[in-house]
Amino acid sequence: MSGSAQTGRDAEDAPRDLVLELDGVTKTYGHQPPVPALRGVSFAVERGELAAIVGPSGSGKSTLLHVVGTLERPSAGRVRIGGVDVAALDDRALSRLRAREIGFVFQQFFLAEHATVRENVADGLLYAGAPVAERFASADVALEQVGLSHRAGFRPGKLSGGERQRVAIARALVGRPAIVLADEPTGNLDSATGAAIMELLHELHAGGATILMITHDAALAEQLPRQLRVLDGRIVADTRRAAA
């Protein structure tokens, strides 16, 4: 599913393989008066892309992440993940979709302190129905990818912030999801560690992973091949850097 053979760069001549499509997505909170967080957002992400959603706080980018991650349903408009319209799915089917097609990376890592690094990563597959042996084998591969194989038996409390975020990234990657959603992945890290994490995201992208990163940091967003600027619940710019 992760389409490791294909990258975004040679997708121009191939038929477009869309991992994520948003079409006129609106999200409104409350009733009296309604507060619009997203006002008609439309964009698409191809397999193998590395893109940033960038905007100041309150611009609606977190809501956008939740809608894309199927943690919230849009008030109007359509969200398709891997070609499936999520509006048609019930809680069970949505959960299965999250378990298999979407990987999350959070600013606060959210690691289980009483479990080892390896168990934390393997738990990324807990709800996907994989047997234990397969979960741990995949966890070892994912830890290799983020360069933390030597920390597999540690508890998260013994790790540095950068290492903790790498564990969280490995957990997001372990099921080889169609898309990884990273919410301010460097937000809790110092700049040097943050830069290392960015480098890791670039490496994973080069390896074929589709990554959508959310950030308020315009400078950070500019390092990525594509930036979607969000302001007041709308996409105000969709710029692509010339392929390196």
Q: Is-contact 156 137, C-beta < 8 A?
A: no
Give the C-alpha separation, 43 to 58, whole Å.
Answer: 20
Which tokens sit at 182? 């990273």
Question: 57, 114, 150, 157: which one contacts other proteins (CB under 8 A)?
Answer: 114
Question: Which of 108, 144, 153, 158 touches other proteins by CB under 8 A?
Answer: 108
Give 30 or 131: the residue with its C-beta nearer to other proteins: 131
- What is the total residue count of the chain? 244
CA 129 to chain centre: 21
Beta bridge partners of 35: 29
If one asks whether residue 128 binds other proteins (CB under 8 A), the answer comes out as yes
Q: Are the C-beta atoms of 141 and 118 separated by less than 8 Å?
A: no
Considering only residues 197 to 236 of the shown chain, the ones binding other proteins according to CB under 8 A are none
Sign of torsion over alpha carbons 55, 56, 59, 63: positive
Smallest separation (angstroms) from other proteins to the CB of 209 = 17
Letter string b/e over residues 37-63, b meaning 16 or more CB atoms within 10 A of that residue's CB: bbbebebebbbbbbbbbbbeeebbbbb
* Residue 129 makes contact with other proteins by CB under 8 A: yes
Cβ at position 124, least distance to other proteins in Å: 6
Q: How many residues bind other proteins (CB under 8 A)?
A: 35
Candidate residues 47, 61, 66, 164; the one interacting with other proteins per rule CB under 8 A: 66
- Choose which of 12, 32, 57, 113 interacts with other proteins (CB under 8 A): 113
Which one among 36, 124, 185, 194 touches other proteins, defined by CB under 8 A?
124
Asked if 87 interacts with other proteins (CB under 8 A), we say: no
Output the CA angle 29-34-35, nearest 5 degrees: 60
Among 127, 236, 240, 241, binds other proteins (CB under 8 A): 127
Q: Rg of the Cα trace of the chain?
A: 17
3-class DSSP state for residue 35? strand
**Of 104, 116, 209, 235, which lies in the binding site for other proteins, with binding defined by CB under 8 A?**
104
Q: Cα 151 vs. chain centroid, distance in angstroms? A: 23
Residue 133 or 244 with smaller CB distance to other proteins: 133
Residue 72 in contact with other proteins, rule: CB under 8 A? yes
Where along the sequence are the contacts to other proteins (CB under 8 A)? 66, 69, 71-72, 82, 84, 88-89, 91-93, 95-102, 104, 106, 108, 110, 112-114, 123-124, 126-129, 131-132, 171
